[in-house]
């Protein structure tokens, strides 16, 4: 039976679901409160450069199904993320690998590096790490923790490293080879021509209508009445009018500048790891596409972490015990609505998803919706 779907949000979760619902012959309306599609992966061309408007986005995955899936909508370049850290003017390669250890300690071999790391880990010997600081020291030792982790992390999360959960730091790989690839995944790249074009291709189906500058909450009851099914990718607590309390988020402020030079910093991403500099990183957008852009021009963006309050962009869910517990209660409310509303994505599922994970989650919801009867 053909159904009428309303997709709230044109980010990756919404766009994948919209595409799949439309392909199955359903009538799909996508509403988006911003003035553009693609959610946080939106890219905009300025001076021939694809500008990542909401922060650096590098596609990486080991999920072959997802990698094949996105290739229907875009070709990818061979960009490999290899950020560099600037700590008080000294440059260190990331992630933590032989290049970093050589720069930090002047050592040359994996054996020397391991000996140094083990010596530094001693202060945590026999203790179970209880917070991010202890986790970092037991993983890599105090020198690297103090110079490359502490300042960055405390700026990013607005809290002391001793008050943060250990799991945040488990994402960072440690390698005893000279390899600056930030990710361990099998596949990596940036869609040629930008992410917006990729999402536009997902939404480019005759039975999909997109309405920009349209907020679900302006006509919530009407939408619930007029559509067979709603796929909601906004904040889950807001959907229920915050009736169980507010979930917490971290926000960001981006400061973008056009420079009349060809090459500002020589790398797409430079992290500023000391506490005294208020931003966490500077992105130079053209380096995601190997310098493509108008001659004599480059665009850079400084990323400042910020506290979140209602009305600001909720970039990161804060998955601590209090918020996860509250989310569980909201999810129970959501389950009661499941015959008419699907909750999805970073905000709808309150999860720190990467792009590949959000696509996989959306395809999972598609399966639940269409293949399990």
Binding residues vs ligand FAD (CB under 6 A): 8-14, 31-34, 39-41, 54-59, 215-217, 233-234, 252, 315, 345-347, 353-356, 358
Q: How far, CA to CA in Å, does 340 sit from each of 6, 142, 192, 193?
A: 10, 52, 37, 36
End-to-end CA distance of the chain: 12
Q: What is the DSSP letter of 206?
A: T
Regarding 90 and contact with ligand UDP (CB under 6 A), the answer is no
Torsions phi, psi for 148 (to 5 deg): -115, -10
Interacting partner of 327 out of ligand UDP, ligand FAD, none (Cβ under 5 to 8 A depending on kind): none
Q: Is 187 within 8 Å of 62 (Cβ atoms)?
A: yes
Write the burial class of residue 197 (CB in 10 Å: 0-12 exposed, 13-18 middle, 19+ buried). middle
User: How many residues belong to the site for ligand UDP (CB under 6 A)?
Assistant: 13
Task: Report, in Å, the least distance between residue 243 CB and ligand UDP.
Answer: 30
Regarding 152 and contact with ligand UDP (CB under 6 A), the answer is yes
Regarding 149 and contact with ligand UDP (CB under 6 A), the answer is yes
Among 113, 137, 169, 236, binds ligand UDP (CB under 6 A): 169
SS (H, E, C) 314-356: CCEECCCHHHHHHHHHHHHHHHHCCCCEEECHHHHCCCCCCHH
Regarding 172 and contact with ligand UDP (CB under 6 A), the answer is yes
Closer to ligand FAD by Cβ: residue 57 or 175 = 57
Interacting partner of 148 out of ligand UDP, ligand FAD, none (Cβ under 5 to 8 A depending on kind): ligand UDP
Closer to ligand FAD by Cβ: residue 290 or 352 = 352
Task: Report, in Å, the least distance between residue 373 CB and ligand FAD.
Answer: 26
Q: How many CA atoms lie within 13 A of 18 on its CB side?
A: 31
Torsions phi, psi for 348 (to 5 deg): -75, -30
Bond into 95 cis (ω within 30): yes
Interacting partner of 149 out of ligand FAD, ligand UDP, none (Cβ under 5 to 8 A depending on kind): ligand UDP
Regarding 168 and contact with ligand UDP (CB under 6 A), the answer is yes
Q: Return residues touching ligand UDP (CB under 6 A).
A: 85, 94, 148-149, 152-153, 156, 168-169, 171-172, 271, 273
């Amino acid at each position: 039976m053909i159904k009428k779907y309303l997709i709230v949000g044109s980010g990756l979760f919404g766009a994948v679901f919209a595409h799949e619902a439309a392909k199955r012959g359903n009538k799909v309306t996508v509403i988006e409160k911003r003035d553009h599609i693609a959610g946080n992966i939106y890219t905009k061309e300025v001076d021939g450069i694809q500008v990542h408007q909401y922060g650096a986005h590098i596609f990486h995955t080991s999920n072959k199904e997802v990698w094949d899936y996105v290739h229907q909508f875009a070709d990818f370049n061979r960009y490999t993320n290899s950020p560099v850290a600037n700590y008080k003017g000294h440059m260190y390669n990331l992630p933590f690998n032989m290049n970093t250890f050589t720069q930090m300690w002047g050592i040359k071999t994996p054996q020397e590096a391991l000996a140094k790391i083990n010596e530094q880990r001693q202060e945590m010997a026999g203790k179970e790490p209880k917070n991010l600081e202890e986790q970092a020291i037991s993983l890599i030792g105090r020198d690297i923790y103090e110079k490359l982790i502490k300042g960055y992390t405390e700026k990013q999360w607005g809290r002391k490293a001793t008050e943060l959960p250990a799991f945040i730091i488990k994402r960072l790989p440690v390698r005893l080879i000279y390899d600056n690839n930030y990710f361990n995944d099998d596949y990596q790249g940036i869609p040629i021509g930008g992410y917006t074009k990729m999402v536009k291709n997902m939404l480019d189906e005759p039975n999909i209508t997109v309405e920009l500058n349209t907020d679900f909450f302006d006509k919530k009851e009407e939408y619930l009445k007029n559509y067979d099914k709603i796929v909601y990718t906004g904040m889950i607590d807001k959907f229920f009018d915050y009736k169980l309390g507010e979930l917490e988020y971290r926000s960001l402020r981006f400061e973008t500048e056009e420079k009349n030079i060809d090459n500002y910093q020589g790398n797409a991403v430079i992290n500023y790891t000391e506490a005294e500099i208020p931003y966490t990183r500077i992105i130079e957008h053209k380096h995601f596409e190997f310098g493509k852009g108008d001659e004599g021009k480059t665009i850079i963006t400084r990323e400042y972490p910020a506290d979140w309050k209602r009305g600001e962009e909720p970039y990161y869910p804060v998955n601590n015990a209090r918020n996860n517990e509250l989310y569980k209660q909201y999810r129970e409310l959501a389950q009661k609505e499941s015959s008419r509303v699907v909750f999805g994505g970073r905000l709808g599922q309150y999860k720190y998803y990467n792009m590949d994970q959000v696509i996989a989650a959306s395809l999972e919801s598609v399966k639940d919706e269409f293949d399990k009867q």
